[in-house]
Amino acid sequence: MKYELVCGLETHVELSTKTKIFCGCRSHFGSEPNTNCCPICIGLPGTLPKLNKEVVRYAIMAGLATHCEINLISKMDRKNYVYPDLPKAYQISQYDLPLCKNGYVELESGKKIRINRIHIEEDAGKLVHKGQDVLIDYNRGGVPLIEIVTHPDISSSDEAKEYIEKLQSIMRYIDVSDCKMQEGSMRCDVNISVRHEGETKLGVRTEIKNMNSITFITKAIDYETERQIDAIQSGGEIYQETLRYSEETNSTESMRNKENANDYRYFGEPDLITIKTNKEDLEKYKTQLPEFADGRCKRYVNDYDISKSDAKLLVKYKKVSDFFEKSIKGIDKPKTVSNLILGVIFRYIENESDKQEFNIKVLPEDLNKLVLLMQENKININLAKKALGQMMETGKKVSEVIPDDYLQEISGEEIKEICKKVIKSNDSAVKDYLSGKDKALKFLLGQVMKETKGKADAKFIEKILAGEIKNA
């Protein structure tokens, strides 16, 4: 009998506010340990939290971007547990009245992964293991999080991968988080169970904690699915427990028994007031939602004749897509701009993080000027690529890498005159072309390229040659 995977994800997204959720400390990654914290962060007696209003706005934007309903009345709760990185012995989170509920993220197949809830909470500190010692860095404590909890709608590791990538893209497009998994600003808890194919009853689930790599999430799902199936088929039993995933062995191992909600003894946070959102603000936030990656991708394919694979690469990184949008103003063939970005600029950007940041020396206005020169047949594609490479390396403008006097040598009118001259002096090649020998046109093209020293656009020359021969 076949088994099927039933999977749900709890995704923690660190919000990119300037300050923390309950105090004025910087919310910044990479600082020296315990330099971005205060008595509120480390839970000293007598301190009182004050909710950062921007955190609420970011969470609502995330909810609207994922088709959620927004609760106009919400509140904060205490989630009680003891761990060294949580000095208060409780986490301020949300329980029964989260900000957002009942949303979804749609996959390419059309399947909707339903979102049960999105709530705000504070992050805990970080344990640093050094040999036999365990050190605590409280810089991360109090950094604002949203937790995005799905229903158990995911049926394969591929679906999990696509869901996470789409969620990551959405959060980046609304600019609430950089979602850098390698820095921990996006982490997933993966809930997994298996059941006989066609059954509706859920099996006993395990939870793999704190996954911060899409690659390892897919491997962990595949491994844990097979482990549970093998255990059931061998007459064993699945226990509800919390697991960790080992990258070295590609396996899961038990950390502790899985807690239930009542283990955390939730109750309303007495030090914070009720969160109220009005409909006017919601309407304002809706107008601030951007065109997302899926919409841009479809538009690039349909309107600009860009291949789907190239369009996906452009929209994967919002700053790249924004750069493309600014670069194509007045351009007849935006596909040319896409080719230069993906074919030249991307060669100078080594990793995903740098593509996400997209801090390059070329401005979109400069790329636009370069492509306009191609459009006006003043330079060819090879020269454009070479010039763009120089611009990427040096930060120079188009006029600095392609001087005006250079462009004047290869104007469209002069190319036409050269074409006429080559046609007149190569009568036999012209006759061969008229008799159906296409190679003859390539020969004539080569003669023109020699005259222009390779500076003119080959396709433009071919068009001129064919037209002049036809009209002769």
pLDDT digits (tens, 9 = 90+) for 258-298: 667 678 899 999 999 999 999 999 999 999 999 999 999 99
Residue-wise pLDDT tens digits, 257-268: 766 767 889 999
The DSSP bridge pattern shows strands 69-70 and 275-276 to be unpaired
Domain residue extents for the chain: 3-286, 293-405, 412-471
**Rounded CA separation 405/387 (Å):** 15
Residues in Cβ contact with 386 at an 8 Å cutoff, skipping those fewer than 6 apart: none
Task: Render pLDDT for 376-426 as a digit per residue (tens, 0 to 9).
Answer: 878 888 889 999 999 999 999 998 998 776 665 566 778 888 898 988 889
- Taking all residues of the chain, what is their mean pLDDT, rounded to a whole number? 92
Is beta strand 69-70 parallel, antiparallel or unpaired with respect to 90-93? unpaired
If pLDDT is split at 50, 70 and 90, which confidence band does 472 have? low
Tens digit of each residue's pLDDT (9 = 90 or more) over 316-334: 999 999 999 999 999 999 9
pLDDT band at 13 (very low <50, low <70, confident <90, very high): very high
Q: In what order do the strands lie in the sheet with 241-246?
A: 69-70, 100-106, 112-122, 144-150, 3-14, 186-196, 206-211, 241-246, 251-257
pTM summary value:
0.85
The Cα-based distances of 273 to 80, 115, 427 in angstroms read 19, 26, 90
Mean pLDDT of 59-65: 98
Q: pLDDT higher for 453 or 179?
A: 179
By CB atoms closer than 10 A (0-12, 13-18, 19+), residue 279 is exposed
pLDDT of res. 436 = 86
155-199 tens-digit pLDDT = 999 999 999 999 999 999 999 999 999 888 999 999 999 999 989
pLDDT bin (cut points 50, 70, 90) of residue 36 is very high
Q: State which CATH number among 3.40.50.700, 3.40.50.300, 1.10.10.410, 2.60.40.420 fits the domain covering 412-471.
A: 1.10.10.410
pLDDT of residue 405: 63
